[in-house]
Structure 1
Amino acid sequence: MNKFKKSAVTAVVAGAVALGGVVATATAASAVGSSKCTVNITNATYKTTTTVKLRTGPSTGYTALGSLSTGTKFYGTCKYDPSYGIGVSNEVWTYGKVTSGANTGKWGWVYSSYLKRA
């Protein structure tokens, strides 16, 4: 950021704070871990059916932690289904731990349509 832009941003922020306002900043979606789970699952060992992103939360709006190649093993512990208890959903995500490949040991979310039971 050049010196002029930095000074202008600083002045706007200082003015907003001096007038009792707040300054909102845009950030990437924060990691949610298992807090978004709606359905617990047990003994759920999967393999990815295609290359898929491991994410910090259950949507493409969350940060990708890495890519899981086809056949990567994934141990699921719970799922996020926004329509749980009220109908069928196409937006189901699985939370768990990567157990093979380059991202072994990482925890995150995978879109459930790209997982099959191992």
Structure 2
Amino acid sequence: MRLPSRVAAVAGAVVLMAGGATLATAPTAAAVSTPSNCQYRWYTPHNAKTTAGVNLRTGPSTGYTSLGILAKGTGFTHYCIAYPNGTNWAWGKVTSGANRGKSGWVAYSYLTH
């Protein structure tokens, strides 16, 4: 029987608190709280890198505030996309570089897999 990912995560935490072995798992898309304006959520996170310098934004368009610039080659794990006005935007978390740990939106055309 396969346990849902949240149950497995809780079970792993209980094992760790009880002094068990270290358990490391990657979060599934279902385990990450995605913004309400996501139109399509991935079943598993997608790891990507930026193809050029690009803004990390608070929402899925250039009209939203920039949270910082991601340099070319910055790691970005995305969990969902939105496509307002025909342009694809990915929401996720920065995994390398100066903005590591920040979450936000990146224009999908600036990501490579």
TM range (shorter): 0.5 to 0.7
Deviation track 1:17-72 (CA, whole Å, cap 9, x = no partner) reads xxxxxxxxxxxxxxxx7121000012300000000000000000000000000000
Does structure 1 retain, via aligned residues, the 8 Å contact 2:89–2:106? Answer: yes
What residue is the counterpart of 1:40 in the other structure?
A: 41
1:63 pairs with 2:59: no
Give distance in 2, aligned partners of 1:61 and 1:43: 26
Instruction: Give the letter for the 1:102 counterpart.
Output: A
- Once residues 115 and 37 of structure 1 are traced to their aligned partners in structure 2, the CA distance between those partners, rounded to angstroms, is 17
Q: Match for 1:113 among 99, 106, 109?
A: 109
Gaps of 5+ in 1: 1-32, 84-88
Consecutive unaligned residues of structure 2, counting only runs of 5 or more, are 1-33
Alpha-carbon shift at residue 82 of structure 1 (Å): 3.3
TM-score (norm 2): 0.67
Equivalent position amino acid for 2:112 in 1:
K
CA deviation after TM superposition for structure 1 residue 81, in Å: 1.7
Asked whether the 8 Å contact 1:76–1:94 carries over to 2, the reply is yes
1:38 partner amino acid: Q
Q: Cα RMSD between the aligned structures?
A: 1.3
Amino acid of the structure 2 residue aligned with 1:93: W
Tell me which residue corresponds to 2:53: 51
Aligned partners of 1:116 and 1:59: how far apart in 2?
Answer: 19
Structure possessing the higher radius of gyration over alpha carbons: 1
TM-score (normalised: structure 1): 0.64
Runs of 4+ in 1 over 6 A off after TM superposition: none
Q: How high is the sequence identity, in percent, across the aligned residues?
A: 53
Secondary structure of the 2:99 match is coil
Opposite residue 66 of structure 2, the aligned amino acid is A
For the 8 Å contact 1:39–1:81, the answer to whether it is kept is no
Alpha-carbon distance between aligned partners in 2 of 1:110 and 1:46, rounded to the nearest angstrom: 11
